[in-house]
Structure 1
Amino acid sequence: MDISVYRPGELTAADRAAWTTMQSKAHLHGAPELANPFLSPEFALAVGRVRRGVRIAVVRDPNGEPAAFLPFQRTAAGVGRAVGLGVSDAQGLVHRPGLALDTRELLRACGLAVWEFDHLVGGQGLFEAGVSATFPSPVMDVDQGYDTYLAELRERSPKFTRTTLAKERRLGRTASAVRYVHDERDPAALRTLMEWKSAQYRRTGRSDRFAHPWIARLVEQLFHTRSEPFAGILSVLYADGKPVAAHFGLRTERILACWFPAYDPAYAKYSPGLILHLRMAEAAAADGVAHLDLGRGHKEYKDSLKTRELTVSEGWVTRRHPVAVGHRVRRVPVRALRNTVTSRPELFEPADRLLKKMGRIRSRATVTVKPTKT
């Protein structure tokens, strides 16, 4: 096998087409997770426009044909991270079935001492030895149609389903012009979503992702990225002539990856975010999508909407190198502490309450502090 490494702009149209074909046929080879939009060439190229160090390793067979693709980000010291680490909900090697490859050989060809991941998809035997923890990633299966999904939801969570549908009817009675747009192309709606999401991050004491310019630019780029197998999808629920809930995610032929959902708190009593997800499921099913990937992380709404769970992993693979040793020494304690807190309710719930309290204090300070006159 020959392994070559390219900058995003150096990848040929033929290589991109081969990458997309591998994804589109992955479900036929028992690896449907490889069709995730975060593993698409479009996502890697978009990250490459807003972040330095993005590279794509292409593994070729003896005939020179692509057999695998690994997008990654590399520092000058040789520390590698999954492309878009921190905002990517699926990572790994997109490959032909039955590919045999040596991990250290791949790292050496990429100029990496270590490659770190936090959302490694299933079926990545090449990296299994480096997995340090696994996590559930809930999905909503709609491959049998929305009616089938809704019937299963009613059977599994009857109270949740009944309450959510009742709130949707109540919204329709009390608000005017309630409508759903599955693929909204108005950039103003995207800006509204980002403003809501930033406010939510601050309100709950979390770090505001959209305060990082590169993340905002990445989302805006992906909003305008559209091809036959890939698109950024902005879904919006409107009422009273304005957005009341919105979601931006990424779509391939078979998977809609949920990414940034938010809603107008003024309409919270109607649970517009839940209504939105049901409408997304209905529209996705009509488009032939197999499932909506809700992403790693425990949330009550995910538990209510899911039909099953995938598994994603975090960890790193290394080769013998001082840089790899130093990276592990720095990262292991941080990850261990975070995972311990999030996995134990007696630790997570007090920490979550503290974050929300700090968020409320920070939000009040933002509102009350006025600029001084000069």
Structure 2
Amino acid sequence: MSSTASNIDNTAPAARAPFVFATCKQGWEKALKDEAKSVPEGLRPAFMRPGLITWKCEVPPTADFVLPGIFARMSGHSIGTCKDAADLASKLGELKTHTLKLHVYPREFPEDGLPTDEWSRIDAFRTRLLKSLRDAGVAMDDDAETVLGDTVLDVIVEDDLTAPFFAGWHRHGAHSNPSPGGIPRAVIPIESPSRAWLKLVQALAFAGLETKGTHPLRGKIAVELGSAPGGASYALLQRGMRVMGIDPGAMDPRVLNFRTPQGGIPFKHLQMPAGEVAPEFLPPQADVLISDLNLAPAVMIRLVRKMQDQVHASLLILTLKINDRAVFAGLKENLTAIRDFAPGPVRATHLPGNRDEICVVAGQLG
């Protein structure tokens, strides 16, 4: 967070754009459009590219407009396509009277993460854009990290950074994704046992637990259902957690042989189905309960509820499989079932690394 953050004018601009935008994972545009049908502003699709949709509003949206639901990765007010920084500055209107944060992120995003060198290209573009906007008289904050109430300028770029880009803006709210564009900067490491590593890291970012310079998970206890071969467990161990993995399958040796700096063994494997674990094998209290069980959501939810009754975790991170239409249609009912035993508010999203599944985060780390 920048030292000037507390001095930033976060008052909403008075002007209201008649168009709004949302981004999503490519291939999931229909799910995003279906969710938009229930928005009270009365949204009519206006423009669509893979991973990006705009709508015209029948009712002017409020400054803190956000597209509710699961599949919008980022949403807000649409500014439109811009050919360069000068074109963008000319379209900002009353936004120019406010200090803005700048988020720059790609429209096309590989599900296994964007390589570091690609982020470096985008960061260099952001630096140039930031300077050009300042030169055009726009008040910009250097820091991309946001706090509640910040007005954020969203710039969505193509692979060719010389091509026109899309711009919009949003008000950073209590439930806004903390990562610019809803895209955490994580790439599966070579040593990871599975791509579950990436999904777990993205879920932690969604939960606000991947903040630079902090170690909120260190020393905490996690119980993971469906842990084999160990990608998510490995990510938790890297962050200093003690982990109990429950799965009849075999764990990767890199997980079993993981050691703390003091030589301790932070991982324990219960090699049995989650439904067969007796209470005496479980810790009396866990901080995080995680499930990536490859089961129908209703079955998974019953198992998680039973486990939560034993470990009383303050944070749940769950994966719901949605690989058929019936399950997709029942998402609301599944989320309601989770709310019945969740330790706190329930939020759901379609992570960049999710395939036919969604991530549910409930409660917060105690």
TM-score under structure 2 length normalisation: 0.27
Which structure has more RCO (C-alpha within 8 Å, separation ≥ 6)? 1
Richer in helix (by share): 1
